[in-house]
């Protein structure tokens, strides 16, 4: 068939590519971000019970009231925000929420500011909606943001700014200064904010997560996107949610209803019950900080250079002292010759510029981290 691609420059995602290669070469997979340890038995039992108790038909469009109430309670308690029950929608993971937000609000030639390196689903989704991604480079190695530069890039066409905090792949956790700078840029404008906070419960060394929900000027124009997949080690469930002020949420739901209508009912029953115990998400930072430190204790013996990640379950490492290869080639070399799969960060960078940095996912059990760590320590 003769057709013209809407995404001529897009191929297979790096996550699929690297996980496939990891399987092919039987390498330890520290590339795609997902935990390899089992899901909590309690959550599995709740899911099994929900199916057995016949919660198997369509759920309400915006999500099960029992679950949406819990989400609102959790968010307002943690971030001192003022969301009400009409201001939430349960989604098929963060990815669907993000795509639906773009589809709802972007019109041809609208501009959307995103920060590079960026998680890979933003740009294609913006382009599919005929809008234009405007790229701002975070300043390596600290991945700081020059907010003056952002200000200069605002035009009459700027519809939205996308922030990802904690940030994938760098692990950057936004500071109070970052949040205030963002607030100053958008206040008194009609610019919307999409805040991808899927790693909200993974911040380390005492730093706390500054959600847009904590800042009234930001809350009133923001979509806060979250993922149960990340928080409860169930990436395969593909469940998350979006929060936004009432008028924005009403508009969002117009599209969501034709996009998915509603999402997995029995898993929503399970999640509603599981959220009763706040320990299930409050202990996550400690849990992952231990894994980060354990993994980094091996990396510290190697010639890789790194700063311990501040948030998320990713650790970046600079391999300049190890090899002259491009990062994509270096990752191939790591898989084939050392049996370790990682992600070349250039795929997330502006113009795919290689800075000799790769990303490891440390959401793995102790045995896997030990095995991988021992190999990496010798490089
Ligand atoms: N978010 C995960 C990562 O960054 C992968 C998700 C996916 O495979 N699409 O590795």
pLDDT digit string, tens, across residues 268-280: 999 999 999 999 9
Q: What residues contact 108, with CB distance under 8 A and at least 6 apart?
A: 130, 131
pLDDT digit string, tens, across residues 186-227: 999 999 999 999 999 999 999 999 999 999 999 999 999 999
Closest atom, ligand 1, to C-alpha of 361: 10
Q: Compute, in angstroms, the gap from residue 65 CA to the centroid of ligand 1.
A: 29
Nearest CA to ligand 1 atom 7: 15
Nearest CA to ligand 1 atom 2: 33
pLDDT digit string, tens, across residues 79-128: 999 999 999 999 999 999 999 999 999 999 999 999 999 999 999 999 99
Confidence of residue 247 (pLDDT cuts 50, 70, 90): very high
Q: Would you say the CB of residue 33 lies under 6 angstroms from ligand 1? A: yes
Q: How far apart are CA 192 and CA 239, in angstroms?
A: 23
Burial letters for 22-55: b for 16+ Cβ neighbours within 10 Å, e otherwise? beebebbbbbbbbbeeeeeeebeebbeebeeeeb
Q: Would you say the CB of residue 229 lies under 6 angstroms from ligand 1? A: no
Q: Would you say the CB of residue 35 lies under 6 angstroms from ligand 1? A: no
Q: Compute, in angstroms, the gap from residue 118 CA to the centroid of ligand 1.
A: 12
Q: Compute, in angstroms, the gap from residue 32 CA to the centroid of ligand 1.
A: 5
Which of 17-21, 160-164, 233-237 bottoms out in mean pLDDT, i.e. has the lowest?
Answer: 17-21
Task: Specify the pLDDT at position 241.
Answer: 98
With a pLDDT cut of 90, the percent of the chain lying above it is: 95
Closest atom, ligand 1, to C-alpha of 13: 9
Confidence of residue 11 (pLDDT cuts 50, 70, 90): confident
Region 132-145: mean pLDDT is 95
Nearest CA to ligand 1 atom 8: 15
Q: Would you say the CB of residue 15 lies under 6 angstroms from ligand 1? A: yes
Q: How far apart are CA 209 and CA 204, in angstroms?
A: 10
Nearest CA to ligand 1 atom 4: 33
pLDDT digit string, tens, across residues 20-33: 999 999 999 999 99
Q: Would you say the CB of residue 170 lies under 6 angstroms from ligand 1? A: no
Q: How far apart are CA 134 and CA 156, in angstroms?
A: 13
Q: Would you say the CB of residue 31 lies under 6 angstroms from ligand 1? A: no
pLDDT at residue 246 above 90?
yes
Task: Specify the pLDDT at position 12.
Answer: 84
3-class DSSP string for the chain: CCCCCCCCCCCCCHHHHHHHHHHHCCCEECCCCCCCCCCCHHHHHHHHHHHHCCCCCCCCCCCCHHHHHHHHHHHHHHHCCCCCHHHEEEECHHHHHHHHHHHHHCCCCCEEEEEECCCCCHHHHHHHCCCEEEEEECECCCCECCHHHHHHHCCCCEEEEEEECCCCCCCCCCCHHHHHHHHHHHCCCCCEEEEECCCCCCECCCCCCCCHHHCHHHHCCEEEEEEHHHHCCCHHHCCEEEECCHHHHHHHHHHHHHHCCCCCHHHHHHHHHHCCCCHHHHCHHHHHHHHHHHHHHHHCCCCCECCCCCECCEEEEECCCCCCCCHHHHHHHHHHHHCEECEEHHHHCHHHCCCCEEEEECCCCHHHHHHHHHHHHCC
Closest atom, ligand 1, to C-alpha of 32: 10
pLDDT at residue 15 above 90?
no
Q: Would you say the CB of residue 289 lies under 6 angstroms from ligand 1? A: no
95 and 237 Cβ atoms separated by less than 8 Å? no
75 and 243 Cβ atoms separated by less than 8 Å? yes
Task: Specify the pLDDT at position 127.
Answer: 96
Confidence of residue 14 (pLDDT cuts 50, 70, 90): confident
Q: Compute, in angstroms, the gap from residue 52 CA to the centroid of ligand 1.
A: 31
Confidence of residue 10 (pLDDT cuts 50, 70, 90): confident
Task: Specify the pLDDT at position 272.
Answer: 98
Q: Would you say the CB of residue 124 lies under 6 angstroms from ligand 1? A: no
With the most atoms of ligand 1 within 8 angstroms of its CB, the residue from 231, 235, 316, 342 to mutate is: 235
Residue located via tokens 């191929």: 11
Q: pTM of the predicted model, to two decimals?
A: 0.97
Task: Specify the pLDDT at position 142.
Answer: 92
How high does pLDDT run on average in the chain? 96
Task: Specify the pLDDT at position 119.
Answer: 95
User: Which domains, from first to last, does the chain contain?
Assistant: 14-33+282-378 (3.90.1150.10), 41-276 (3.40.640.10)
Q: Compute, in angstroms, the gap from residue 33 CA to the centroid of ligand 1.
A: 5
pLDDT at residue 132 above 90?
yes
Region 282-295: mean pLDDT is 97
């Amino acid at each position: 068939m003769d057709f013209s691609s809407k995404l001529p420059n897009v191929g297979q995602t790096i996550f699929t590519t690297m996980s496939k290669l990891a399987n092919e070469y039987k390498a330890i997979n520290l590339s795609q971000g997902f935990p390899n340890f089992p899901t909590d038995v309690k959550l599995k039992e709740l899911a099994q019970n929900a199916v057995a108790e016949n919660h198997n038909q369509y759920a309400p469009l915006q999500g099960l009231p029992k679950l949406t109430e819990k989400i609102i309670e959790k968010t307002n308690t943690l971030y001192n925000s003022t969301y009400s029950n009409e201001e939430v929608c349960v989604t098929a993971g963060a990815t669907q929420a993000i795509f639906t937000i773009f589809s709802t609000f972007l019109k041809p030639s609208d501009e959307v500011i995103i920060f590079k390196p960026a998680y890979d689903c933003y740009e294609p989704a913006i382009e599919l909606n005929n809008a234009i991604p405007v790229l701002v480079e975070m300043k390596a190695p600290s991945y700081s943001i020059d907010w003056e530069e952002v200000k200069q890039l605002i035009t009459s066409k700027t519809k939205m700014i996308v922030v990802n905090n904690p940030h994938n792949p760098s692990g950057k956790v936004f500071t109070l200064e970052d949040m205030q700078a963002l607030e100053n840029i958008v206040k008194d404008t009609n610019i919307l904010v999409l805040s991808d906070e899927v790693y909200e419960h993974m911040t380390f060394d005492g730093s706390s997560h500054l959600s847009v929900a904590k800042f009234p000027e930001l809350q009133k124009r923001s979509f806060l996107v979250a993922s149960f997949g990340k928080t409860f080690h169930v990436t395969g469930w593909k469940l998350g949610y979006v929060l936004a002020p009432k008028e924005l949420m009403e508009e969002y739901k117009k599209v969501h209803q034709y996009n998915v209508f509603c999402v997995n009912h029995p898993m929503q029953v399970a999640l509603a019950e599981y959220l009763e115990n706040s320990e299930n998400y409050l202990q996550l930072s400690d849990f992952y900080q231990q894994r980060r430190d354990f993994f980094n204790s091996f990396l510290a013996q190697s010639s890789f250079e790194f700063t311990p990640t501040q948030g998320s379950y990713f650790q970046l490492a600079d391999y300049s002292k190890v090899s002259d290869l491009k990062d994509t080639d270096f990752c191939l070399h790591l898989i084939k010759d050392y049996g370790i799969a990682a992600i070349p960060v250039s795929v997330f960078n502006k113009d795919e510029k290689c800075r000799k940095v790769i990303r490891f996912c440390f959401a793995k059990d102790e045995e896997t981290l030990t095995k991988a760590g021992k190999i990496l320590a010798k490089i």
